[in-house]
């Protein structure tokens, strides 16, 4: 039988900011081509530490992470203050093996979709947080990687931009790209994610489809939030 192709394979025994006090334990999961996987959990659950582990920027890691080419969209926008929006895009193009005509066409389309056409010659430090977030999304999607790692993508986005982002994510999935998305917006995650990783206290509390999560929580028709609440209480009571 032919083995499934994996876009990401995480087998982290433990990880953290020092070997003496790891904050993550047994973070084992995979992502396949075209999947949108939601990374769900409260503040302090280990979501950001997991992302740092996947990116290879955490101080201590015992285990392995197999990850291909990826694009990362941080929660807080990062940009060059001395470059305009178009200069950011041209700089990105210079780092990619991409046809210039095709890249410019895709970039122009995204500018239009995000209503940033009239802002292309402006500096990003003058943009609102939501506009800066749109640029981070554009830069990531223009790279067309195998995997997108997105940290709280809906922060600062208005409803129209949120809908446009979800359309772009669906387009990336159809292209075969996978998405790992950390978010607090559980009602949106419930509607769009193929699978979920529910984090609590530095470990994966539960993972699977919404059907799997409901089965594990005992709530046959429960929302993702209700299921997560039941599972966290059960975990706390079992200690």
User: 163 with 55, same domain?
Assistant: yes
| Structure tokens, 207 | 């993972």
Question: pLDDT confidence of 239, banded at 50, 70, 90?
Answer: low
Closest CA to 54 of 41, 43, 63, 44: 63
Question: pLDDT confidence of 145, banded at 50, 70, 90?
Answer: very high
User: 18 with 136, same domain?
Assistant: no
Question: pLDDT confidence of 238, banded at 50, 70, 90?
Answer: confident
User: 56 with 151, same domain?
Assistant: yes
Q: How many domains does the chain have?
A: 2
User: 205 with 113, same domain?
Assistant: no
pTM for the structure as a whole:
0.92
Rounded CA separation 101/114 (Å): 20
Residue-wise pLDDT for 116-126, tens only, equals 999 999 999 99
User: 140 with 150, same domain?
Assistant: no
Q: What residues contact 88, with CB distance under 8 A and at least 6 apart?
A: 79, 80, 124, 135, 139
Mean pLDDT value of segment 61-88 = 94
Q: How many CB atoms lie within 10 A of CB 233?
A: 11
Reduced to 3 states (helix: H, G, I; strand: E, B; else coil), residue 108 is helix
User: 162 with 213, same domain?
Assistant: yes
User: 63 with 163, same domain?
Assistant: yes
User: 61 with 156, same domain?
Assistant: yes
The reported pLDDT for the residue numbered 2 is: 42
Q: Is residue 11 part of a domain?
A: yes
Residue 209 is part of which domain span? 1-69+145-239
- Look at residues 103, 118, 144 and tell me which one is the last residue of a structural domain: 144
């Amino acid at each position: 039988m032919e083995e499934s192709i994996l876009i990401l394979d995480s087998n982290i025994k433990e990880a953290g900011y020092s070997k003496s006090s790891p904050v993550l334990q047994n973070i084992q999961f995979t992502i396949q081509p075209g999947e949108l996987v939601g990374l769900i959990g409260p503040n302090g659950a280990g979501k950001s530490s997991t992302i740092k582990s996947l990116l290879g920027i955490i101080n201590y890691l015992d285990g392995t992470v197999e990850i291909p080419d990826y694009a990362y969209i941080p929660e807080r926008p990062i940009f060059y203050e001395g470059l305009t929006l178009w200069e950011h895009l041209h700089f990105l193009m210079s780092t990619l093996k991409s046809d210039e005509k095709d890249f410019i066409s895709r970039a122009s389309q995204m500018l239009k979709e995000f209503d940033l056409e009239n802002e292309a010659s402006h500096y990003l430090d003058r943009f609102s947080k939501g506009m800066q977030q749109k640029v981070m999304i554009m830069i990531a999607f223009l790279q067309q990687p195998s995997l997108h790692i997105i940290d709280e993508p809906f922060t600062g986005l208005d409803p129209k931009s949120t809908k446009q982002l979800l359309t772009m994510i669906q387009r990336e999935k159809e292209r075969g790209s996978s998405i790992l998305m950390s978010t607090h917006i559980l009602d949106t995650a419930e509607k769009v994610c193929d699978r979920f990783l529910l984090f609590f206290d530095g470990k994966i509390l539960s993972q699977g489809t919404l059907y799997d999560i409901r089965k594990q929580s005992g709530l046959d028709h429960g929302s993702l939030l209700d299921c997560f609440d039941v599972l966290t209480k059960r975990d706390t009571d079992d200690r």
